[in-house]
Structure 1
Amino acid sequence: MIKKVIPLLLVLNFASLFSQSKENKLKLNDTWFTVETDKNQKPVIVRGRQHLKNLIESKQYTDYVEFIWTFEALTENGIPTPEENIFMQKVEDALIENLEIDLQSVLTIVYTHDGVRTSVFYTKSVPEFLKRINKALSQFKKLPIEIMNEKDVDWDLYRGILKNYKLVPK
């Protein structure tokens, strides 16, 4: 009986080590780039993470979710007021805290222009993403947001946005 248990434990330990090494590959480089340009004489501000190639190659993030926020206060230049921007940052921080803690979802790009801020998350599971954002947003009043999602196994949206600014995933 003992002889059967010991080999089984060794196999389980080996499998455990293998799964840990696979998990260790999925690390998030939290380096951000910022691009500022204009479109229709209004500023465009793009923030993003360029160092996500390891997440792309993992093939675990098969969908993206766009978190679209229409500004409450209209400004002439189409960017949020300083007060609204501070509040939006608090919301973004809450989302990141709930979604990225175990890399279930990752914020990749934030695009601000003409009264709208769009945050693009890639996720392993849309239902889990929605569950977590409901938890994250429960501390805030009703927000002027829309949420859309699409299947994107090859990260075409992300790659296309980077390409627009002469960037590539690293």
Structure 2
Amino acid sequence: MAKLNISDEWWTAPAEADNGNLIMVTGRKGLQNVIDTGKYVYRIEMTWPYVPDATGMPGIDDSKTMEAVQDAIDDTFGHDPVAVVTGIYTGDGKRDWVFYCRSLNIFQRKLNEALSGFEALPLEFHAYDDPGWEEYREMCQAEVDSSD
């Protein structure tokens, strides 16, 4: 069986929280082939609440740790794509990662493996059945056309 080709092309666009604060949305492009497998049916939202600076963004220390967490996630799921990060939302005092995965149990095991080198992180998780990738499709509407 051929390895699934998962795009590493991303876009970033500003959005607005319900209270008017800035949210930077980063979305992964080109995932139709992953959607078409019909295997990535669970959406996991991983949230890291933080004390925001005056603009609602994380401070330097949180930003550095979040970047290291992202690198660990990319490395782990890049080698074993049981889950795909589809979007990252940062602002208004929290960072949200959105994953689509094949198995909740395997996702949990692989994420624990990815984060094993970190001290306890203030992460919150929510899981949803989303075989139609509704959140992903909605997020993609925020993409700004580079020709604009």
Among 16, 32, 46, the residue aligned to 1:53: 32
Q: Which 10-residue stretch deviates more, 132-141 or 38-47?
A: 38-47
Among 61, 67, 70, the residue aligned to 2:49: 70
Q: In the alignment, which residue of structure 1 is the partner of 2:137?
A: 159
Q: In the alignment, which residue of structure 2 is the partner of 1:11?
A: none
Deviations 1:80-117 (A, max 9, x none): 11221111010111122112313211100001121011
Residues 83, 155 of structure 1: CA spacing in aligned structure 2 closer, same or farther, 3 A cutoff? Answer: same
Task: Determine helix, strand or coil for the equivalent of 1:100.
Answer: helix
Write the mapping of 1:144-155 to structure 2, written as runs, cut at 5 A.
Answer: 144-155=122-133
Q: Which amino acid aligns with 1:63?
A: Y
Q: What value does the CA root-mean-square deviation take over the aligned residues?
A: 1.6
- Check the 8 A contact 1:32/1:47 in 2, yes or no: yes
Q: Distance in 2 between matches of 1:37 and 1:153?
A: 25
Structure 2 unaligned blocks of 5 or more: none
Q: In the alignment, which residue of structure 2 is the partner of 1:34?
A: 12
- Check the 8 A contact 1:111/1:119 in 2, yes or no: yes
Q: Which 10-residue stretch deviates more, 31-40 or 104-113?
A: 31-40
Structure 1 unaligned blocks of 5 or more: 1-19
Percent identity, please.
31
The normalised TM-score by structure 1 is 0.78
Flag the structure with more relative contact order, 1 or 2, with Cα contacts below 8 A and sequence separation at least 6.
2
Q: Distance in 1 between matches of 2:52 and 2:7?
A: 34
Q: Distance in 2 between matches of 1:150 and 1:63?
A: 6
Segments of 4+ moved more than 3 angstroms: 37-41, 164-167
Q: Distance in 2 between matches of 1:117 and 1:127?
A: 23
Deviations 1:2-35 (A, max 9, x none): xxxxxxxxxxxxxxxxxx2xx34x2011011010
More helix by share: 1
Q: In the alignment, which residue of structure 2 is the partner of 1:17?
A: none
The normalised TM-score by structure 2 is 0.89
Among 82, 85, 89, the residue aligned to 2:60: 82
Say if 2:84 is the partner of 1:106: yes
Q: In the alignment, which residue of structure 1 is the partner of 2:95?
A: 117
